[in-house]
Every structure is written in C-alpha cells, then in structure tokens.
C-alpha cells in the first residue's frame, strides 16, 4: 500500500486559494466543525464524571475545588480541540471524499490551513498549561490522549490497520483519568474502571459508525473493519466487545442499587440489540440503531454516576 500522506503540494494550494463558497457560510459554524464540538461535549461528560467521583470517593467539597474543576474542564476541552483541529489538518486530503466530512473548513478553504495549524498547536499548548494548574498528572494524561489521537491514530494507524479503532480508543478513554487526576493524583481504582468502560465502549460504537459509512471509508481508502472483512465479521466483533463491557460497570456497585439497575438495563439491552443484528435483514438500519444506542448508553451511564452521588 502506497504512503497515504504523499500529498501533492498543488492540491494544498488549491485548498488555500479556493473561492470561499460552501454549505457552511457561518464562521462560527466552521469553527465548531473544525474543533469537532460534538466530540468535545461527549468527552467533557466523562471528564466531569471522573472529577466528580474523585470528589465523592475522597470526601472533598466541590466548591472548595472549583478552581481545579474549571482547569480540568477548560483544559480538557482545549486539548481535545487542538487534537481534533490537527486531525482535520492532516486528513484534508481525504475528507473531501466522504459525505460527512466534505464540508469541513479544511476542505472548503473557509479557514486557511496556516490558521488551522496555528489553532491546533495553540489550543493544545494552552489546554496543557491549564491542566497543569490542576495537577501535573492531569496534564500528562492530557498529552497522552493528544499523542494517541494525533500521532498513533490519525498519522499512524488510521490509514494502515483495521485495529485503528482500538488505537483511537486510548485517547477517548483518557478524559475520566484527566478529571480524576485534577482532584486526586493518586488515581483510585475507580478511575481505571471509568477508563476501561470508555475504552471498551468505543470499539462497538465506532464499528457501528464504520458500517453506516462503509462506502465513504472504502472510497477514502481507510481500512475500517467492515471495509476489509465485511459486515458479518464486524457484527461478530461488535457483540464480543459489548459482552466484554457488560460486567465492567458493576465494579462500581458501591454507587448503589439505583446505579446497578441502570447499568444492568443498559448493558443487557445493548447485548440484546447486538444479538438482534444477526436476525435483521437490514444491516445499515441495525448499525444506525447500535450507534444511537451506544451514545445513549455512555451518556446515561455516566450521568447516572453523578446523579446517584449527589
């Protein structure tokens, strides 16, 4: 396979000089697309849960630690924004091929590549500094997440291996550790349970998305599992990960019966939906259902962790 990053300099110049006409005419909308605000928001939920549970398990007061809370939230948001911006910068040669990415400002030219690169680096540095004000451990985890997303996932594995999903899962699972470390640098075992939940969750979540966008990934030459091995193999992999995830939330049973019930309903519900995929004729419809369920699973589970400890 040829080097996917051999980019014609003329193509870059065309992006820079392209007329400023696109589906996105709002600068703010372009900015939000550049930093991938949806990814930031979802990761801030897990970050906040990590720091909230750290306060709960170490018997500390929220208001007394509000400075570290704010450093953790804004620092994490900026580091993620930096990583996502650099991801867009790097992937500008293939994003125009895929329907869901063709209107990104790095494709349309609405934001110059120089500004994109500057923002990506600047956000990362500023975010790391803010995390360091909370704790050095939080800053280190922030950099680990950044490195695994930008270097290990975007630049190394995404275009080469079907295991790119697992590699990318490292960065997505780091935010709870950042949140916890902002309050308690010793990292209680609960913090690692949160990491494990998000790490395992990401594979079935993104494999469902890869099934939905299979032809886009195929056209872009990205070796996602359904592109290389087909839907049947991908569905078997998904159910394996969903079953592996099932018992993990129960390690937090100390959060109480309400939490355990919610975790049970969510977990067994996802297993049931995974099994149903072998009996549904419409694989894309099932993949869409799995993708939506996975989003609800993580959001409800992590919000429940906070609510039951208020």
* 40 touches 80 (CB < 8 A): yes
**Rounded alpha-carbon distances, angstroms, from residue 48 to 101, 174, 251, 254, 310:** 29, 12, 19, 19, 13
Kindly report, residue by residue over 142-155, the tens digit of the pLDDT: 999 999 999 999 99
Triad 263, 204, 243: Cα angle to 5°? 50
pLDDT digits (tens, 9 = 90+) for 68-80: 999 999 999 999 9
> Which residue in 82, 178, 89 sits closest to 135, CA to CA?
178
Instruction: Give the pLDDT confidence score for residue 19 in this predicted structure.
Output: 41
Report the alpha-carbon distance of residue 232 to residue 27 in Å, rounded: 42
Write down the pLDDT at residue 194.
98
Burial of 131 (0-12, 13-18, 19+ CB in 10 A): buried
Residue 255 burial (C-beta neighbours within 10 Å; 0-12, 13-18, 19+)? buried
Q: pLDDT by residue (tens digit) across 236-265?
A: 999 999 999 999 999 999 999 999 999 999
Q: What confidence score (pLDDT) does residue 100 get?
A: 86
Condensed to tens digits (0 to 9), the pLDDT of residues 93-133 reads 999 999 889 989 999 999 999 999 999 999 999 999 999 99
- Could you report the per-residue pLDDT of 175-223, keeping only the tens digit for each? 999 999 999 999 999 999 999 999 999 999 999 999 999 999 999 999 9
In 3D, which of 165, 281, 158, 297 has the Cα closest to residue 231?
281
Among 284, 197, 204, smallest CA distance to 242 is for: 204
Residues 273-295: tens digit of each pLDDT: 999 999 999 999 999 999 999 99
Query: For residue 20, what pLDDT is reported?
Result: 41
* Predicted pLDDT at 35: 96
pLDDT at 22 over 50: no
pLDDT at 25 over 70: no
Q: Output the CA–CA distances (angstroms, integers) from residue 40 to 69, 175, 268, in the order listed.
A: 16, 10, 28
**Which pTM does this prediction carry?**
0.90
């Amino acid at each position: 396979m040829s080097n996917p990053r051999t980019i014609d300099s003329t193509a870059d110049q065309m992006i820079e000089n392209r007329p400023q006409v696109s589906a996105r005419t709002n600068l703010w909308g372009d900015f939000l697309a550049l930093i991938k605000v949806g990814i930031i928001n979802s990761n801030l939920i897990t970050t906040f849960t990590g720091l909230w549970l750290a306060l709960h398990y170490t018997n500390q007061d929220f208001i007394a630690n509000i400075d570290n809370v704010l450093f953790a939230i804004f620092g994490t948001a900026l580091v993620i924004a930096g990583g996502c911006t650099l991801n867009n910068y790097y992937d500008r040669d293939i994003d125009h091929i895929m329907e869901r990415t063709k209107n990104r400002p790095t494709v349309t030219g609405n934001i110059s590549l120089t500004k994109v690169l500057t923002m990506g680096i600047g956000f990362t540095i500023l975010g790391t500094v803010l995390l360091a004000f909370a704790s050095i451990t939080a800053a280190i985890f922030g950099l680990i997440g950044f490195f695994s997303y930008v270097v290990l996932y975007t630049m190394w594995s995404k275009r080469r291996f079907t295991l790119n999903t697992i590699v990318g899962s490292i960065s997505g699972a780091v935010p709870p550790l950042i949140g916890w470390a902002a309050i308690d640098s010793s990292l209680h075992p609960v913090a690692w349970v949160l990491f494990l939940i998000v790490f395992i969750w990401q594979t079935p979540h993104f494999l469902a998305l890869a099934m939905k966008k299979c032809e886009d990934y195929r056209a872009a030459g990205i070796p996602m599992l359904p592109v290389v091995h087909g839907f049947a193999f991908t569905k078997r992999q998904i159910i394996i990960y969903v079953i592996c995830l099932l018992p993990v939330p129960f390690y937090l049973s100390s959060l109480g019966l309400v939490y355990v019930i919610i975790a049970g309903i969510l977990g067994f519900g996802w297993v049931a939906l995974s099994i149903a995929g072998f009996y549904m004729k419409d694989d894309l419809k099932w993949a869409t259902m799995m993708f939506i369920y996975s989003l609800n699973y993580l959001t409800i589970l992590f919000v429940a962790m906070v609510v039951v400890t208020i």
